[in-house]
């Protein structure tokens, strides 16, 4: 599961990291400490000439065949195990894959006040790379045309089973693509299921670290650097 993340690194720096050309944008970049679904986000994808470009996509996939864009908020994540079969994702996986840069992402850990409760409260943690570099998250993209002829470019995050670091927090995690796999993942001419499956696996346990953070992140109205500041939390109920 991935439903909230941070986007702090400027586009020019990301373009250099990913070896991509940055598309021009009429929207000035501003650090976002609480990126929510349907937000316009940065992603790296290959253009029609198979060259890397960093551009803006709306988070929440709208397949080209959709009647409208109302389902975008429900398609922010795609399960790696079913991307080749699900109608919403199947058209994108062969040649419309992207990398979504994140400085970190939030996940919510269930609080255990004794026995597990069906609606137990949850507490947020902030997950980053152990080496301090931005995360390169596997994604899919699509284009959708409205009745007035305008085009909307959208994307979603691919998730996989949690690794040992994430499993105490959640049973799913985003697919993290390491630099050695970026070329294959972005290559629009590569559609081999076995090779793509090798990439869509849980990250090595040494890749990630996390800290407890304030429940202020629960509200998308809050968007400031203090959201990612570590806090002390009692371990009595965990």
Q: Which residues are catalytic?
A: 2, 107
Look up residue 41 and give its two tokens.
Answer: 């986000």
Degrees to nearest 5, angle at CA 12 with 38 and 129? 70
Phi, psi of 179 (to 5 degrees): -50, -35
| CB-based contacts of 32, cutoff 8 Å, min separation 6 | 6, 7, 8, 39, 223
* Strand bridging mode 32-35 / 5-7: antiparallel
Q: How many Å apart are CA 170 and CA 130, to the nearest integer?
A: 19
Looking at residue 60, the DSSP 8-state letter turns out to be S
Order of strands, sheet of 32-35, starting from the edge strand that comes earlier in the sequence: 32-35, 5-7, 104-110, 122-129, 208-212
Q: Is the dihedral of CA 94, 135, 104, 14 positive or negative?
A: negative
């Amino acid at each position: 599961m991935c439903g909230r993340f941070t986007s702090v690194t400027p586009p020019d720096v990301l373009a250099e990291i990913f070896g991509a050309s940055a598309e021009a944008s009429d929207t000035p970049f501003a650090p976002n400490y609480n990126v929510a679904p349907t937000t316009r986000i940065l992603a790296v994808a290959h253009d029609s000439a198979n060259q890397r470009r960093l551009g803006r996509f709306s988070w929440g996939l709208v397949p080209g065949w959709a009647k409208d864009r109302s389902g975008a908020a429900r398609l922010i994540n795609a399960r790696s195990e079913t991307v080749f079969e699900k109608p919403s994702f199947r058209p994108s996986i062969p040649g419309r894959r992207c990398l979504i840069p994140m400085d970190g992402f939030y996940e919510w850990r269930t609080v255990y006040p004794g026995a597990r409760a069906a609606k137990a409260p949850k507490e947020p943690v902030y997950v980053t790379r152990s080496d301090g570099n931005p995360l390169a998250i596997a994604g899919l993209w699509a284009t959708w045309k409205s009745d007035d002829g305008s085009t909307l470019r959208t994307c979603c995050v691919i998730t996989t089973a949690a690794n040992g670091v994430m499993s105490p927090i959640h049973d799913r995690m985003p697919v993290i693509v390491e630099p050695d796999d970026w070329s294959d993942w972005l290559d629009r001419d590569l559609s081999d299921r076995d090779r793509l499956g090798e990439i869509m696996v849980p990250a090595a346990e040494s890749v990630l670290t996390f800290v407890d953070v304030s429940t202020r992140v629960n509200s998308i109205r809050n968007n400031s650097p203090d959201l990612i500041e570590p806090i002390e939390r009692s371990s009595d109920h965990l």
